Structure 1
Amino acid sequence: MSRFSPLTRKGLLTSGMVALSLTGAAQAQDIPDYLRYEPTQTDVGGTGLLQMPSARMARQGEFSVFYYDNDEYRRVGLSLQLFPWLETIIRYNDVRTRLYNPNPDFSGDQTYKDRGVDVKFRLWEETQYRPEVSVGLRDFAGTGQFSGEYLVASKRWHDFDFTLGIGWGYLGRSGNIDNPFCKLTDSYCERPGGFRGEGGSFEYDEWFKGNAALYGGVEWQTPWEPLSVKVEYDGNDYSDESSRTPIIQDSNWNLGLHYRLHEYANVQVSFERGNTVMFGFNLRTNFNDITQYKQRPRKRLAEDLDNTRRPVYIDQLDADRLAGEVYRETGWVSAELTIDDDGKTLNSYGYQTRYRDRDESDERTGRLLATKLPESIEAYRLIDAPYGIKLRQTTIDADKIKAAMRAETIDADAREAIQRGDIDTIATQGRQLSRRDTDWNMPSFSVRPYIQQSFGSPENFYMYELRADAYSTWEIKENLFVDGRAALRLAGNYDEFNFLVTDEDAPLPRVRTFVRSYVEFSDIWLENLQATYLKQLNKNWYASVYGGYFERMFGGVGSEILYRPYNQGWGIAADINWAKQRDFDSHFGYRDYDVITGHVSGYWQPEFLPDTMVRVAAGRFLAKDWGVQVNFEHKFDSGVIVGAYAAKTNVSAEDYGEGSFTKGFYLSLPFDLFQIRDSKGRATVGWTPLTRDGGQMLMRQRTLFGVTDGRDAFYSN
């Protein structure tokens, strides 16, 4: 019998709830001021005050699209908190007072666009007594017209966030203090002017040189939660501007209001230079936090174990029917089912087609097999074997997953029954129960929209091509595939591309700047048609040979070899290709130009940068130039991948043309972030500043690194 009456128990419960609430409130009050507030964006992108950056960093994964406007400039760009200690920004400055080119036949009435890339590194975090300190580079890979460097500290006191920094270049033109580095060496007393090549280079010999200025300010979080007030002392005097028009500064003090319209939207209005109104907004999300509700069939439960009739012996199993049921319910394609010689382990050679979350897929497959297989089967082994290449295996303990389904212990977890590892052997194990016939496969077909785009071209700021692409894949025999794609142009403006250099005068073979010729010739074309034979030499070595129309501009033949150990975070590949330029009609003919191109490529996932892939490819490019392409990718918790690449070759910046070298950025977005059903597909959105001929790589289907992703599961998980 209880020692407490119902009334007493109710009082104790209420008292407990009140105590928990008070404890939570006390804990909230114990949170330091400097950890409570989300930093806001500046007028030029990135965390800070108005024109000036602060030392603050947003939460990792924070992504903002921003637009800010005043009389001389429009600024639009993207800001991403790539790591907790690294902020990155891509920005376009639209100079409203200048034309892109004085020749109206070349760029029409388009105003001048200046590209900029910023980075900010946190040196140390804020503590109770120490400020947060960061160092940054603004517009460090552009034309240098807005470039500057800074060292800045920020410290919060209650609702006030104070910032004090020193700026150089564009951020320090007022020169209100002496450059401290000038005292160390005279080379820092003057800042070199102009920029090397055709813009886009790293002007490192200018960094932290010339005039310097102190700047600072404070941001006050008002009692009204959506609103904050910013007061800033500007380090720039606007004496030498890209607008080529006088910009009057009546005051170094700027005042602004930042208002949070919504969780995902902010607006900012400011009065700057004592005479100018600035307005802007930003839209934000966080790539780590993005989720999407999923409509999934229920998982098999204990009642399915007890109520489903199972065969007593494995020979009584209808293996073909089981394979079909597994595919329909879990998305796992069982190309081959075998049983070990001891009769205790079922092996399924196949691949996952539906779930990007491999834990979800394997648990569902294990639960289903537990309800269908004889009790004598002690383990279910799923061998990833896409394209007939065996990459890894997942072993599911039958007893453990059944115990979890029946909830035999309070902490039973079906996923604890799952173990992954390297494949034991590349040979088929045990006795075969069923096998999918690949000799009479029919091609698969699908139609999908596709958009190709680039930003910042002289002819038009936004160049694009919207298409409807028909895809086809045909597995003729095991390991032999034919991939094709035909395209229908729906809309676009690439026909405005106006590369005013004749073939004879071009410093490089024209391998990419014939865009307009390809676009204008036909609205229907064959994008690619490639045959590929894949071969697994042993469990770490892979090879392929291929030929056909690789892409819209090139066809030919080639071969690749790859060494990729299991779950080691690295691999190395080499490819060699003979490529010939296709006719402008993109149907079946070729032009006179051909090239031997190929690269040695290294792939690395550094332990000190989690969820990051670095790829380095060294070799010969399509324009017969030699050099290196570096590709950097980071994957967030949602599966969104952010990538950047750059290629530097033996082509001079002058011969390359505007931009100095090939570079670009892209987002890879999982389809299942936009739909309620699971999917393994991805969509890629790219940003290419300019299309030029140097540093261009051949595009082809079924690269070995993509085919063998299951060895590390960077893209497919």
Structure 2
Amino acid sequence: MARRAGIAAMLAGATALAGAVQADTVPSFNLYGLPGLIDMPDANMAPDATLGMTYGRIGTANRGSVSFQIAPRLIGTFRYTGIEDFDHNASVDGVYYDRSFDLRFQILTEGTWRPSVVLGLQDFIGTGIYSGEYLVATKTVAPGWQVTGGLGWGRLGSYNGFDGFGERSAEVLGTGGQPTTDRWFRGDIAPFGGVAWSPNERLTFKVEYSSDAYDIESEQAGFEHNSPINLGMDYRFAGGTQLSLYYAHGSTLGAQLTYAMNPRTLGVPGGVESAPDPVSPRSPAETADLGWTTDLAAAEASTQARLARSLERERLDLEGFDLEPHRATLRLRNTTYSAPAQAIGRAARVMSRVLPGSVEEFVIVPSENGMPTSAVTLRRSDLEALENEAAVEMLARARFDEAPRDTPAMELAEYPRFLWSLAPSFGYATFDPDGPLRIDLGASLRGEVQFTPNIIFSGSINKKIVGNLDEITRESASELPRVRTDYAEYAREADPRIPRLTLAFYGKPASQFYSRLTVGYLEAMYAGASAELLWKPMDSRLAIGAEINYVERRDYDMLFGLQGNETTDPVTGITRSFPHVNGHVSAYYDFGKGYNAQLDVGRYLAGDTGATLTFTREFVNGWRIGAFATVTDVSADDFGEGSFDKGLIFTIPLSVGTGKPSRNDTTLTIRSVQRDGGARLSVDNRLYERIRENHEPDAAASWGRFWR
């Protein structure tokens, strides 16, 4: 369960992006949410970074999926299916809900004579209901005509197959979530294939020969499979949305809606902000004039005041300033622009208009919560000469250095500062068997007192307006302390609620090191203290961090009470305690081109120890899509449904829906199921993401916004 403000703007933005992917560049998606024919896969790939979302129905099954083109040759899919009239002990009111993951890799791309060839794993860590593997080839044989043929194993080898290698279990795994490596490419093999014809860019007609006998549905859901021949038609709307209609298995009609978008090609959000003032060029006389230095202290004070006012008009904050005859150092706080280069560029132009003409070197020090993160040095003469040139020319002349601890800081006369906002709030819970998606909508009143740039007291209070999170009623037994599975009690009893109320201290104890100490009500379920130390060199792709937390569980009403670190299982009545102390050592690595990995090793809330691997792909415009998996010393049986913690991450910049520059975003975490193993404290403002934004690799990636 998670809550984020600004969801309404995010949804509005997603709707506005309907035309982000051109219809003729995205292949048809099949009923499994992957490029394919109808039920069968083909060997097409979507454009790099395409995000495809599908919802369809065939026979007794409703299928929803999210697919992401991770790399040009690799695509992954998460699928959620509800099968009606399914005779299984985990069915709810006759509906069996199933989660599954797919991966497929393109071995060969299509050439003049060579077909595209893809190897795929379907439902490779699920319950096994949709488990199958395939090798498939697709070739364009004439304009608008594609022919596909392949071999399938598992479910895709169940109709008119022949003996393959080894035996394959047909058991449905009760908890799911376990890699089924003992089944891959084993058992019967069956051929499949089909033809797709597109008379124009809107219409595609398909016919396929399916190698799926639908044995499980026929046995347990009364499904009729009378024919391997399936027929389909796709219609693409102008915005790229695909509507598909099917007649399948000789017995049933089906339909599907597909929506595709591409975060990589959306551009950087914003665009309605006012244009910055231009660079103010100097005359030779101004460049040589040092008369103003006769009273340097007075000149510095006067210039600092003018600089602060000018930066405020650009929605930037001055945190420190030092003026020398030929050099000026500006400590800059950016609370507005998602691209650090845009903030640096605007600050540089302000400096060119305010500083005395003899000042040739500008040193801009981006600051995060009072911590200087880097020092970007620009020559004023380069700004004057290159303002109308490509931003890359300015990047070639910029220099990035470590920011020393003793960068200039202003007197604190303007502190404390008080900020507040009233915004929509959004809460959700996914994959509760009685209701796979539950949502609360409400309002969130947020406040923040900045005693200094480094010391911040903040909190929020939320009030539900409409929703059904409090209707979660189904309890499940846990072999672990209920550190997360009691979220239903919090949903029912906490309204209004205080999600967070904290006092945070930020610092830079040494060069390349950053620190955070947060105390108070840290998240919805836990209060206590959280301390973090991060080592992140300015020009390095590697960072190392450590975090230690001392926590106590909050009362269910999410106000000010605490209830101690003991939980009682409502099903078994067993009371279990869990430790106050947890924490992790973390390694972060930026592979370049937006690919990032994070490895966290340590102790989790329930006292289990293990590791979490997170892999994300990030884009300059603020979008981020990724996946994570956590494995601890808790066995799959003790963990329960899902076997281990895993899920998907979607970060969407808030400015998508507003068109205005903003550093705020919304992160949605979709877990296959929320259990107690591998559960981590959800503390705000961990250091790595904000610190690295102002370091050379990330700042250079956004440098195209320097002149915006």
Counterpart residue number, 1:575: 547
How far apart in 1 are the matches of 2:219 and 2:34? 22
Counterparts of residues 201-220 of structure 1 (less than 5 Å): 201-220=178-197
Does 1:635 find its partner at 2:621? no
How far apart in 2 are the matches of 1:73 and 1:243? 14
| C-alpha contact 1:287 1:637 (8 A) present in aligned 2 | no
| C-alpha contact 2:442 2:462 (8 A) present in aligned 1 | yes
Counterparts of residues 372-411 of structure 1 (less than 5 Å): 372-405=354-387
How far apart in 2 are the matches of 1:390 and 1:663? 35
Counterparts of residues 276-291 of structure 1 (less than 5 Å): 276-291=252-267
How far apart in 1 are the matches of 2:495 and 2:94? 27
**Match for 1:523 among 473, 495, 508?**
495
- How big is each residue's C-alpha offset from its partner over 1:72-103, in whole Å with a ceiling of 9 and x where there is no partner? 11111212212111111111112122388679
1:704–1:678 Cα change, 3 Å: closer
**Match for 2:633 among 650, 657, 666?**
650
**Match for 2:340 among 342, 358, 375?**
358
| TM-score, length of structure 1 as denominator length | 0.85
How far apart in 1 are the matches of 2:493 and 2:255? 44
Counterparts of residues 243-392 of structure 1 (less than 5 Å): 244-291=220-267, 294-301=271-278, 313=292, 315=296, 316=299, 318-340=302-324, 343-392=325-374
Counterpart residue number, 1:23: none
| C-alpha contact 2:280 2:353 (8 A) present in aligned 1 | no
Counterpart residue number, 1:452: 427
| C-alpha contact 1:380 1:395 (8 A) present in aligned 2 | yes
Please state how far the C-alpha of 1:348 moved relative to its aligned partner.
0.5
Please state how far the C-alpha of 1:154 moved relative to its aligned partner.
1.3
Does 1:588 find its partner at 2:560? yes
| C-alpha contact 2:218 2:224 (8 A) present in aligned 1 | no
**3-state SS of paired residue (1:527):** coil
Does 1:80 find its partner at 2:63? no
Counterparts of residues 652-671 of structure 1 (less than 5 Å): 652-671=635-654
**Match for 2:29 among 32, 41, 61?**
41
- How big is each residue's C-alpha offset from its partner over 1:115-136, in whole Å with a ceiling of 9 and x where there is no partner? 1211111112122122111111
How far apart in 1 are the matches of 2:546 and 2:60? 50
> Which amino acid in 2 is paired with 1:208?
F
| C-alpha contact 1:547 1:556 (8 A) present in aligned 2 | yes
Counterpart residue number, 1:559: 531
Counterpart residue number, 1:149: 133
Please state how far the C-alpha of 1:190 moved relative to its aligned partner.
1.0
**Match for 1:54 among 34, 42, 45?**
42
**3-state SS of paired residue (1:381):** strand
Does 1:693 find its partner at 2:680? no
Greater relative contact order (CA < 8 Å, ≥ 6 in sequence): 2
How far apart in 1 are the matches of 2:252 and 2:174? 35
**3-state SS of paired residue (2:438):** strand
Counterpart residue number, 2:511: 539
> Which amino acid in 1 is paired with 2:380?
A
| C-alpha contact 1:497 1:515 (8 A) present in aligned 2 | no
Please state how far the C-alpha of 1:362 moved relative to its aligned partner.
2.4
Unaligned runs of 5+ in 2: 1-23, 566-578, 703-708
> Which amino acid in 2 is paired with 1:490?
I
1:562–1:379 Cα change, 3 Å: same
How far apart in 2 are the matches of 1:232 and 1:624? 52
**Match for 1:173 among 128, 135, 158?**
158
| C-alpha contact 1:254 1:272 (8 A) present in aligned 2 | yes
How far apart in 2 are the matches of 1:565 and 1:194? 51
> Which amino acid in 2 is paired with 1:507?
E
Counterpart residue number, 1:548: 520
Does 1:221 find its partner at 2:203? no
**3-state SS of paired residue (1:66):** strand
1:637–1:125 Cα change, 3 Å: farther
- How big is each residue's C-alpha offset from its partner over 1:594-646, in whole Å with a ceiling of 9 and x where there is no partner? 52111111111124xx2111111111111111111111211135331012222
1:380–1:242 Cα change, 3 Å: farther
- How big is each residue's C-alpha offset from its partner over 1:665-712, in whole Å with a ceiling of 9 and x where there is no partner? 121111222222211111122322322111100121332223423336
1:412–1:44 Cα change, 3 Å: closer
- How big is each residue's C-alpha offset from its partner over 1:9-67, in whole Å with a ceiling of 9 and x where there is no partner? xxxxxxxxxxxxxxxxxxxxxxxxxxx86421112211011111111111012122212
Counterpart residue number, 1:677: 660
- What is the aligned length? 654
How far apart in 2 are the matches of 1:511 and 1:286? 37
- Bigger-Rg structure (1/2): 1
**Match for 2:405 among 423, 426, 440?**
426
> Which amino acid in 2 is paired with 1:319?
T
**3-state SS of paired residue (2:649):** strand
Please state how far the C-alpha of 1:175 moved relative to its aligned partner.
4.2
| TM-score, length of structure 2 as denominator length | 0.86
Counterpart residue number, 1:473: 448
> Percent identity over the alignment?
27
**3-state SS of paired residue (1:456):** strand
How far apart in 2 are the matches of 1:424 and 1:129? 56
Counterpart residue number, 1:27: none
How far apart in 2 are the matches of 1:362 and 1:303? 16
Please state how far the C-alpha of 1:177 moved relative to its aligned partner.
3.2
1:438–1:662 Cα change, 3 Å: farther
- How big is each residue's C-alpha offset from its partner over 1:523-556, in whole Å with a ceiling of 9 and x where there is no partner? 1122122222222122212233332211121111
How far apart in 2 are the matches of 1:116 and 1:714? 34
Please state how far the C-alpha of 1:382 moved relative to its aligned partner.
0.6
How far apart in 2 are the matches of 1:438 and 1:599? 38
Counterpart residue number, 1:89: 77
**Match for 1:489 among 449, 452, 464?**
464
**3-state SS of paired residue (1:693):** coil
| C-alpha contact 1:124 1:133 (8 A) present in aligned 2 | yes
Counterpart residue number, 1:190: 167
1:697–1:470 Cα change, 3 Å: same
1:565–1:144 Cα change, 3 Å: same
Counterpart residue number, 1:13: none
**3-state SS of paired residue (1:39):** coil
- How big is each residue's C-alpha offset from its partner over 1:166-224, in whole Å with a ceiling of 9 and x where there is no partner? 11111110143332xx2xxxxxx2102325561122111111111111111121221x3
Unaligned runs of 5+ in 1: 1-35, 183-188
> Which amino acid in 2 is paired with 1:266?
Q
Please state how far the C-alpha of 1:298 moved relative to its aligned partner.
2.9
Please state how far the C-alpha of 1:420 moved relative to its aligned partner.
4.1
- How big is each residue's C-alpha offset from its partner over 1:544-588, in whole Å with a ceiling of 9 and x where there is no partner? 333221112111123222211223111111122221111122222
Does 1:604 find its partner at 2:581? no
> Which amino acid in 2 is paired with 1:337?
F
